[in-house]
């Protein structure tokens, strides 16, 4: 094996190790999403309804102090699954809870700060099986303006309880309606933004979701590792894209709903299954590298096993689309603005997906062609690592770990 080939194998192996070691920190479940609904109130006021993940809200407000009365009452109610008790804990200690929110969330009118007032009790709701606290606020602005800005820095990384909190804003104000996505790098949104600025936010959000959603990245790597020829990865990626685009749009528009407790374990299982497919093919062929060598482009014909693989990828793609929609979490009535936002989010996902394929597949193809044995080892390492990680996540998600 030449020095160049050994170096290529080392690079691929190192990349897989980095991805797997980062997996638990980046997989779904270690981030949080805040949902905000913004509407126009009377007399130039602004109304907001914030939905905050309950247990995170309790811990962040109390800063994990065991003797804090809100922390004690809130965590006891949460562990008991007592919805009434959860709302009661927040309402009993509303001052500190509202203070936490208003120090990190603000509304301004033409650059002037609006003053918040709680206009109703905390209530409880649920998103994807997770308890959420709902807080209604009324914002008195100094004077009516033509544009409002919403800024959110809730649950920042510095608190170290979650990483990468996103705030999904749906709004109907200033004769405009639509959605916006905020995060630590882009914490504010203005109704005066142009249409392309709003769409850029969703493109960026889609791209970031695939990059940071390590389970989706590993699924894609498993597809690449198991594809010997260009036509195989093209068909596999197309099948996956078509499938997840269909369910993503249907779920994001509220036409299909599948609980996260079902979707997330199946996504994890799909990772292990697709990676295991390649390992099974290696075993079936007796581990002969020559049989797995990349040979030309050929035409787009497939044997029975190839069509079966495409069918499996398509079915798993349907489930991954539900996962993409759950991450976006928009709960809004139909509008063309919403549709375009969802399409742009999906385009962001696709651009990153194509970029990963464009980088990884040619590297593996060259390695398989020049050194079939090294190529076999490289794809084997990727498939074993991805399969193991998928099974670990499957067990964790089934048992709620």
pLDDT digits (tens, 9 = 90+) for 139-187: 998 876 668 899 999 999 888 888 888 898 888 888 887 777 788 888 9
185 and 259 together in one domain: no
276 and 197 together in one domain: no
Sheet containing 188-190: which strands, arranged edge to edge? 112-113, 105-109, 148-152, 188-190
Within a domain: 206: no
Number of domains comprising the chain? 2
20 and 45 together in one domain: no
Instruction: Return the structure tokens found at 96.
Output: 């500190």
| pLDDT tier at 299, thresholds 50, 70, 90 | very low
40 and 104 together in one domain: yes
**Better-scored residue on pLDDT, 137 or 289:** 137
Give the angle subtended at the CA of 288 by the CAs of 284 and 290, to the nearest 5°.
125
Q: How far apart are CA 74 and CA 191, in angstroms?
A: 36
Q: How far apart are CA 308 and CA 170, in angstroms?
A: 41
Within a domain: 9: yes
Q: What percent of the chain has pLDDT over 90?
A: 22
Mean pLDDT, the chain, integer = 80
Q: What is the pLDDT of residue 336?
A: 66
| pLDDT tier at 20, thresholds 50, 70, 90 | very low
What's the mean pLDDT in 349-370?
Answer: 87
277 and 381 together in one domain: yes
Q: How far is CA 396 from CA 17, 164, 384, in A?
A: 20, 21, 18
Q: Which residues of 152-185 are buried (b: 16+ CB within 10 A; e: fewer)?
A: bbbbbeeeebbbbbbbbbbbbbbeebbbbbbbee
CA dihedral in degrees (188, 194, 199, 203; nearest 10)? Answer: -60
| pLDDT tier at 2, thresholds 50, 70, 90 | low
**Better-scored residue on pLDDT, 110 or 401:** 110
**Better-scored residue on pLDDT, 246 or 299:** 246
What's the mean pLDDT in 258-284?
Answer: 84
| pLDDT tier at 276, thresholds 50, 70, 90 | confident
| pLDDT tier at 293, thresholds 50, 70, 90 | very low
Q: How far is CA 87 from CA 83, 251, 273, 332, in A?
A: 6, 29, 42, 25
Q: Which residues of 288-322 are buried (b: 16+ CB within 10 A; e: fewer)?
A: ebeebbbeeeeeeeeeeebeebbebbbebbbbbbb
Tell me which residue range forms the domain holding 312: 3-28+213-398
Q: For tokens 């997840």, what's the residue?
A: 244
Helix (H, G, I), strand (E, B) or coil at 319: helix
Domain end residue (candidates: 201, 233, 260): 201
Q: What is the pLDDT of residue 99?
A: 94
For the cut 60, the answer to whether the pLDDT of residue 59 exceeds it is yes
**Better-scored residue on pLDDT, 392 or 302:** 392
Q: How far apart are CA 239 and CA 329, in angstroms?
A: 24
E strands in 141-300 = 148-152, 166-173, 176-182, 188-190
Domain end residue (candidates: 201, 225, 257): 201
Give bridge partners of residue 53 from the DSSP assignment.
132
For the chain, the straight-line distance linking the first and the last C-alpha, in angstroms and rounded, comes to 43
241 and 113 together in one domain: no
Q: How far apart are CA 258 and CA 249, in angstroms?
A: 13
3-state secondary structure 341-383: HHHHHHHHHHHHHHHHHHHHHHHHHHHHHHCHHHHHHHHHHHH
Within a domain: 100: yes
Within a domain: 208: no
372 and 240 together in one domain: yes
What's the mean pLDDT in 299-312?
Answer: 70
Within a domain: 318: yes
């Amino acid at each position: 094996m030449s020095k160049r080939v050994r170096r290529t194998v080392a690079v691929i192996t190192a990349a897989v190790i980095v991805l797997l070691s980062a997996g638990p920190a980046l997989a779904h479940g270690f981030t949080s999403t805040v949902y905000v609904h913004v509407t126009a109130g009377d007399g130039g006021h602004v109304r907001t309804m914030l939905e905050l993940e309950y247990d995170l809200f309790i811990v962040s407000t109390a800063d994990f102090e065991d003797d804090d009365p809100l922390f004690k009452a809130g965590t006891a109610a949460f562990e008991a699954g007592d919805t009434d008790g959860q709302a009661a804990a927040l309402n009993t200690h509303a001052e500190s809870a509202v203070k936490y929110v208003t120090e990190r969330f603000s509304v301004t009118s033409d650059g002037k700060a609006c003053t918040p007032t709680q206009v109703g009790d905390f209530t409880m709701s649920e998103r994807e099986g997770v308890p959420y606290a709902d807080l209604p606020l009324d914002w008195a602005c100094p004077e009516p303006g033509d544009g409002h800005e919403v800024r959110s820095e809730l649950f920042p990384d510095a608190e170290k309880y979650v990483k990468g909190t996103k705030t999904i804003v749906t709004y109907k104000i200033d004769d405009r309606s639509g959605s916006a996505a905020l995060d630590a790098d882009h914490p504010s949104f203005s109704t005066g933004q142009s249409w392309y600025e709003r769409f850029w936010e969703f493109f960026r959000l889609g791209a970031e979701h695939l990059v940071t959603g390590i389970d989706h990245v590993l699924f894609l790597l498993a597809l690449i590792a198991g594809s010997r020829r260009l036509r195989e990865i093209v068909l596999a990626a197309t099948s996956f894209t078509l499938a997840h685009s269909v369910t993503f749009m249907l779920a994001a528009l509220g036409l299909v709903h599948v609980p996260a407790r079902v979707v997330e374990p199946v996504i994890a299982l799909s990772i292990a299954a697709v990676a295991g497919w390649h390992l099974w093919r290696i075993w079936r062929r007796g581990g002969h590298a020559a049989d797995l060598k990349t040979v030309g482009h050929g035409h787009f014909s497939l044997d029975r096993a190839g069509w079966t693989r495409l069918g499996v990828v398509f079915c798993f793609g349907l489930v991954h689309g539900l996962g993409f929609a759950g991450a976006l979490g928009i709960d809004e009535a139909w509008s063309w603005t919403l549709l375009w936002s969802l399409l742009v989010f999906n385009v962001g996902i696709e651009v990153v997906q194509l970029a990963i394929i464009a980088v990884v597949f040619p590297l593996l193809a060259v390695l398989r062609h020049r050194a079939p044995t090294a190529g076999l080892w490289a794809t084997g390492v990727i498939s074993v690592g991805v399969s193991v990680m998928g099974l670990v996540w499957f067990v964790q998600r089934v048992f709620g770990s």
